[in-house]
Amino acid sequence: MIPKHTIDEIFETVKIEEVVGDFITLKKRGVNLLGLCPFHNEKTPSFTVSPTKGIYKCFGCGEGGNSVSFLMDKEHYNYPEALKYLAKKYNIEIEEEEMTSEQTQIANEKDSLYILSTFANTFFIKSLWEKEEGQNIGLSYFKERGFNEEIIKKFELGYSPKNQSALFNEAINNSFDKEVFLKSGLGFKVNDKVIVDRFKDRVMFPIHSFSGRILGFGGRALSKNAKAKYQNSPESSIYNKSKVLYGIFFAKNQISKLDNCYIVEGYTDVLAMHQKGIENVVSASGTSLTTEQVKLISRFTKNITILFDGDAAGIKASFRGVDMILKEGMNVKIIPFPDNHDPDSYSKTLSSDDFKLFLKNQCSRFYNIQNFNFIF
């Protein structure tokens, strides 16, 4: 339970415009701020934030409230979770007791899945940095791909051991429920007695929400015998891949600041661009671009630049999302890469300045695609 004096401090410290501004782009309109409502689809802003009153109100759908209610509605936090999020944002210390196994079991499914996902993420990170197997296999792989320790830690990359039930056994030993583990998609039943980890022997890419919560994972196989090179978490009550963009938590502020969002194909493309100092970049996480994902981006900018592979398949993939982007009233450009290159591989052939210059020069060659007057 959070003490009342701490709750009072949180409410006295938070600024509604900063909290809401982490999720949508706000523009000054007199004494208030205006933006597109995150609770319903709209093209004309009707979502108003009042810094002086500390409240928000949408005159389109009627949603309204304060910073806590905004987080509860937008991120599906319960009341204590919303308070903890704000306390962390404003560096307010909360004296908090660890959840007991009984408390974990009686928590609702969504809360339990969030807790388990965080636990799994910590397990994968420790396996990468603190275990010999993870250092020799997982960490070596990331470094061979050219990623430095800063990027590996920033994106909380990890490693899932070869032991087929390593995570499951660790979760059970820490009082997590077997059924919750199965619902999370982190493992599956082989038979009535055996549950194995879905991501065994893979390097791990956690998928974050807007606010940094772990929703699911992407795993890259390191064994040549693996059936699939990449595998994502199955959908659950907290992870809907069509509504999630990999990297959005790390990109949202720069997307808004630079008024442009780069979309790339894969996890490593996002990492590579961040390592070159380009942070306004997201990936569709191994799925074709969806309307929901485009709408997420539209909260921060109306400009999208698609960066796909330089082969025919990459160009074709780029065009699949163009109509969808245009229907949402967005501006879109496509930048192709040289043959046999993607943003990850090509960035490694250039310095940071030269790579940024390449993107800038390529952008200058394209007109708004709505005019159908672009060049390849």
- Within 13 A of 229's CA, how many CA atoms are on the CB side? 3
Q: For residue 174, what are its two tokens?
A: 């820490």
Length of the chain: 376
Residue-wise pLDDT tens digits, 185-221 = 999 998 888 899 999 999 999 999 888 889 999 999 9
Cα dihedral sign for 317, 320, 323, 329? negative
In the prediction, which pLDDT does 374 show?
42
pLDDT higher for 365 or 105? 365
In the prediction, which pLDDT does 96 show?
63
- Within 13 A of 277's CA, how many CA atoms are on the CB side? 9
Cα–Cα dist 263/271, whole Å? 12
In the prediction, which pLDDT does 321 show?
75
Residue-wise pLDDT tens digits, 58-87 = 999 999 999 999 999 888 888 999 999 999
Is the same domain home to 124 and 232? yes
Cα–Cα dist 168/160, whole Å? 11
Strands, E assignment, the chain: 27-29, 32-35, 47-50, 55-58, 64-65, 158-160, 187-189, 195-197, 202-208, 214-221, 230-232, 261-264, 281-283, 303-308, 331-336
Residue 278 in this model has a pLDDT that exceeds 80: yes
Is the same domain home to 227 and 110? yes
pLDDT higher for 289 or 365? 289
Is the same domain home to 276 and 343? yes
Among 239, 261, 285, identify where a domain stops. Answer: 239
Cα–Cα dist 352/238, whole Å? 36
Is the same domain home to 75 and 177? no
Is the same domain home to 76 and 24? yes
Cα–Cα dist 256/21, whole Å? 10
Q: Which CATH number belongs to the domain containing residue 341 in this structure?
A: 3.40.1360.10
- List, in order, residues 6 or more apart from 121 with CB less than 8 Å away: 156, 158, 204, 206, 214, 217
- Number of domains making up the chain: 3
Cα–Cα dist 221/198, whole Å? 11
Range of the domain at 35: 4-89
| Strand, coil or helix: 160 | strand
Is the same domain home to 192 and 127? yes
Do the strands 187-189 and 195-197 form a parallel or antiparallel pair, or are they unpaired? antiparallel
In the prediction, which pLDDT does 371 show?
41
Only one residue has tokens 């949408």, namely: 58
User: If you average pLDDT over residues 353-360, what whole number do you get?
Assistant: 91
* Confidence band for 298, pLDDT divided at 50, 70 and 90: confident
In the prediction, which pLDDT does 100 show?
62
pLDDT higher for 258 or 210? 258
Q: Is residue 225 part of a domain?
A: yes
pTM of the shown model: 0.80
In the prediction, which pLDDT does 328 show?
86
User: Which of 5-19, 89-103, 161-175 has the highest mean predicted lDDT (pLDDT)?
Assistant: 161-175
Among 89, 123, 143, identify where a domain stops. Answer: 89
The CA R_g of the chain, rounded to the nearest whole Å, is: 22
Among 182, 210, 239, identify where a domain stops. Answer: 239
